[in-house]
Amino acid sequence: MKYSYYPGCSLERNAIAYHRSAMAIAAPLGIELVEIDDWNCCGATEYFSIDLLPAYALVARNLALAERQGNGSELVAPCSACFLNLSKTDRYMSESPDLAEKVNTALAAGGLHYDPGAVRVRHLLDIIVNDVGYDAVAAKVTNPLRGLRVAPYYGCLIVRPGYQPFDDAEYPTSLDRLMRALGAEVVDFPLKTHCCGGHMTQISQPTAYELIRRLLKNAADYEADVIVTVCPMCQLNLDAFQGDVNKFFKMDYQIPVLYFTQLMGLAFGMDAKKVGIGKEFVDARPALSKIGVEAPAPEKPKRRSRKGLPMPTMPEEG
């Protein structure tokens, strides 16, 4: 099974564990992911609030590259934000000939053109559960995740109605079933499609922290050992900001947040480091010890200098 692959910016930096684990589990499942050559950022979510036409053109460039490079008519995006932006752009260009014409005029400056509908955008979870299938996944399990209580967190992006739906928008179950195929105990997680706050951590921390707190509390209430996610932004917020949320609300949550591909790799008997365990902030070792996995300690994040960028100075007069 061959697909075009759009990693997106996050999977090259803070979500490198997602990329590594996705590539690791793809081969044994017969999935060939061919990365688009010369892809660019999807614009995340902010660009669409600034100027719609450049935003759609930015995303459509990736669709045009996928169409031209011809590694299958389906484009896989593991990042939920990338998946939504690519799906949205393809749909809106299909529904609006005027938008399609304007976007293609912009693309023509770079020698590109995109025919709406030429590329089908799919999330990696969709590929695994629907093209590979639960039985085929279960057949690859050599280290069942028995005893590991998992809270499946979909986030608010991949199951939105109208954008390549592959699960129920209100109460999805594909990730639940996948985790069960790996041998994990899936806990009830009523907030499984609630928003993690996105980039609200950079706008209003009290608001963002409350959204994150609700999710952590929900997982803790159902005694989850780990939260498993499909989205780099969700993973970042629940993991990297968990300590800040604890301080803000005077709580002590210690729930590791891992990608579904990482748990797949562990269930397939892969080395923890190979699938990116240790890249998270919240220590996953206590949880993973329940399934006999020796995991590395979390890497200490490199702190950025708090010193601001050098500012230009005006020459003194006289």
In this prediction, residue 83 carries a pLDDT of 95
Would residue 173 count as lying in a domain? yes
Same domain, 273 and 153: yes
pLDDT in tens, 199-213: 888 889 999 999 999
pLDDT, residue 48, reads 72
Residues 15 and 76 in one domain: yes
Bridge-partner residues for 123, per DSSP?
A: 77
Q: Are residues 268 and 157 in the same domain?
A: yes
Judge whether 38 lies within some domain: yes
pLDDT (tens digit, 9 = 90+) per residue, 141-178? 999 999 999 999 999 999 887 776 789 988 999 999 99
What pLDDT does residue 307 have?
53
**Same domain? 74 vs 212:** no
Report pLDDT for 317: 57
Last residue of a domain, one of 124, 157, 186: 124
The reply to whether 117 and 158 lie within a common domain is no
What pLDDT digit, counting tens, does each position of 251-274 carry? 999 999 999 999 999 999 999 999
Count of domains forming the chain:
2
Answer whether residue 305 is part of any domain: no
Same domain, 147 and 287: yes
Instruction: Residue 186: give the domain boundaries.
Output: 143-291
Among 44-53, 112-121, 130-139, 296-305, the range scoring the smallest mean pLDDT is 296-305
Statement to judge: residues 89 and 190 lie in one domain: no
Provide the CATH number for the domain around residue 66.
1.20.1050.140
- Let me know if residue 221 belongs to a domain: yes
Mind listing the pLDDT tens digit for each residue in 294-310?
Answer: 999 998 766 555 454 45
Residue at 66 is within a domain: yes
Strands of the sheet containing 226-229, edge to edge, are: 185-186, 149-153, 226-229, 257-259
For residue 242, is it within any domain?
yes
Among residues 94, 124, 154, which one ends one of the domains?
124
Mean pLDDT throughout 272-292? Answer: 96
Q: Same domain for 169 and 61?
A: no
The model's confidence at residue 311, banded by pLDDT at 50, 70 and 90, is very low
pLDDT of amino acid 71: 76
pLDDT confidence tier of residue 315, bands split at 50, 70 and 90:
low
83 and 156 share one domain: no
Measuring CA to CA, which residue among 160, 217, 219 is closest to residue 186? 219
pLDDT digits (tens, 9 = 90+) for 63-106: 999 999 987 789 999 999 999 999 999 999 999 999 999 999 99
In a domain, 99, yes or no: yes
Is the pLDDT assigned to residue 131 strictly greater than 80? yes
Q: Which residue has the tokens 């949550």?
A: 253
pLDDT at residue number 51: 81
Flag whether pLDDT at 314 surpasses 50. no
> What long-range pairs does 105-110 form, CB within 8 A, spacing at least 24?
106/53, 106/54, 106/57, 107/57, 107/60, 107/61, 107/64, 110/61
- Kindly list the distances between the CA atom of residue 18 and the CA atoms of 12, 99, 122, 262, in Å, as whole numbers in the listed order: 9, 33, 16, 7
Helix (H, G, I), strand (E, B) or coil at 2: strand
What integer pLDDT is reported at residue 45 of this predicted model? 65
What count of Cα atoms within 13 Å lies in the side-chain half-sphere of residue 120? 11
As a whole number, the mean pLDDT across the chain is 92
Whether the per-residue pLDDT at 52 is higher than 90: the answer is: no
Looking at residue 203, its pLDDT comes to 87
pLDDT at residue 316 greater than cutoff 70 = no
Q: What is the predicted pLDDT for the residue at 309?
A: 45
Same domain, 226 and 160: yes
Q: Is residue 253 part of a domain?
A: yes
Q: Are residues 188 and 99 in the same domain?
A: no
CATH code assigned at 246: 3.40.50.11810
Give the DSSP H/E element, type plus range, for residue 208. helix 205-221
Query: Do 60 and 187 reside in the same domain of the chain?
Result: no
